[in-house]
Amino acid sequence: MINVKEKTIGEIREKIKEMNTDLNKINYLESALKVAGFTFEIKRQIWGLLADLYENRKMFDKAGKAMANKAGVEILIKEKLESYLKAGELFAKAGRIDDVDDMFTRAMRDANYEQAMKIKLARKNIYFVSAQDLERQNKKASAVKYYERLIKMDLDELEKKQIKEKLIETYKALGKFREIELLEGV
């Protein structure tokens, strides 16, 4: 653990600029979070810095956790929702679909009707993009998880039909013929 002497977010940012590697910065910021006496505002900014560093290093799981922690200490609802959505996106990149669902559920709890509609759209887009990315990487079994979540969502008929076709195609590739029969009933 690094001894953190800095007391303000400005001093912390200056200290980080002096460091050469992302891993040193991450180690320092993780140590800073353990220091007693920091305000929620400072911790919120540290979580944001950590999330950015983790994302740059493609450590999406840790970036998602950092962003979820940031959302937990956000004061403004708009910022809280943005942090939850970003955490959901990061968890999707990490392939942690249950955590993605959790982030969207938390965001929905704090949202008004208009915000809830935007969150539903973001969820649909993140699931669809994640499924397509996984298919491009030839990870069909993982893509199926996202398509299965999408088919259960409130979609228009054209979208539902496209998702159903994708699911059937992917199930065939995976040899899941029983699932195809079950899907025919949807």
Kindly give the confidence (pLDDT) of every residue in the chain, 186 residues in length, as a single tens digit, with 9 standing for 90 and above.
788 888 889 999 999 999 999 999 999 999 999 988 888 899 999 999 999 999 999 999 999 999 999 999 999 999 999 999 999 999 999 989 999 999 999 999 999 999 999 999 999 999 999 999 998 999 988 889 999 999 888 888 898 889 899 888 888 888 888 888 887 765
Closest CA to 67 of 38, 37, 94: 94
Residues 6+ apart with CB under 8 A from 74: 44, 80, 83
Residues 6+ apart with CB under 8 A from 121: none
* Domain range 1-111, CATH architecture: Alpha Horseshoe (1.25)
**Cβ count near 39 (within 10 Å):** 11
DSSP code, position 177: H
Q: Are 107 and 84 in contact (CB under 8 A)?
A: yes
